[in-house]
Amino acid sequence: MPRRIIDISQPVDASIGVWPGDSPFTSEFTWDMNSGASCNVSRISTSPHNGTHADAPVHFLPGGEGIGERPLEPYLGPCVVLDGPAEGLIQPQLLDGIDLAITPRILVRTRRQPVTEFREEFVSLSVDAARWLAEHGALLIGLDTPSMDPFASKTMDAHHTLLGAGIAILENLDLSNVRPGNYELIALPLRWPGLDASPVRAVLREIPAG
């Protein structure tokens, strides 16, 4: 029996909530069959951080890798989905007991729904939790919120810790229809050399019982 695929990506259109000051998503057809063109061809303008996306080291680390240079291994393979807090910071206690040899990719569900208006209050990762992931050899951490660090952070310590350790970052996941447990993650970024982030079409595949 085919394994069920669960789409955990946010839809991206002009209604999506955008980090204050960042570039909104816009689209238009530059060739339009309704106007006599032989086919439809569109043009988009967007920040690579809109919707579900992967951060690259160069986002915060001068001289760091762009998203197009990142290895793909962290974005593909076994993962675990955890129920996290509904507010505040994710602490390392939530991660205790995870066997990273089995599930080196961790997604934390805070039950945040995709929103059309950006909200500054969201769950983020504590620096202690980021250090736990770095010390234990995690490959990837993903949240269903806009950032690993709180909105008001000026130093972005969680990002620096994770990216400095080579840990892949996914943000703005949609985990609202996912139960905690083990899955296979597929969330490949685009091959955009030198860029600070990339949209991903993130999905989970269920692991057969037994």
- In the block, tokens 């291994």 appear at 73
123 assigned to some structural domain: yes
Helix (H, G, I), strand (E, B) or coil at 35: helix
29 assigned to some structural domain: no
Q: Which range of residues forms the domain containing residue 111?
A: 5-11+48-206
| pLDDT confidence bin for 112, thresholds 50/70/90 | confident
Residue 129 and residue 148 in contact, taking contact as beta carbons nearer than 8 Å: no
161 assigned to some structural domain: yes
Phi, psi at 57, each rounded to 5°: -55, -35
207: which DSSP letter? P
Whole-number pLDDT of residue 111: 82
Q: Is the dihedral of CA 108, 60, 65, 11 positive or negative?
A: positive
Q: How many residues belong to the chain?
A: 210
151 assigned to some structural domain: yes
Q: Kindly report, residue by residue over 117-144, the tens digit of the pLDDT.
A: 899 999 999 999 999 999 999 999 999 9
Residue 149 and residue 130 in contact, taking contact as beta carbons nearer than 8 Å: no
pLDDT above 70 (res 8): yes
For residue 60, give the CATH number of its domain.
Answer: 3.50.30.50
Between these two residues, 73 and 117, which has the higher pLDDT value?
73
97 assigned to some structural domain: yes
Q: pTM score, two decimals?
A: 0.96
80 assigned to some structural domain: yes
Based on the structure, what is the number of domains in the chain?
1
| Catalytic status, residue 59 | yes
**At what angle are helices 127-136 and 157-164 packed, to 10 degrees?**
10
Helix (H, G, I), strand (E, B) or coil at 24: coil
27 assigned to some structural domain: no
* Active-site residue, selected from the candidate residues 49, 59, 136, 159: 59
Q: Kindly report, residue by residue over 137-173, the tens digit of the pLDDT.
A: 999 999 999 999 999 999 999 999 999 999 999 999 9
38 assigned to some structural domain: no
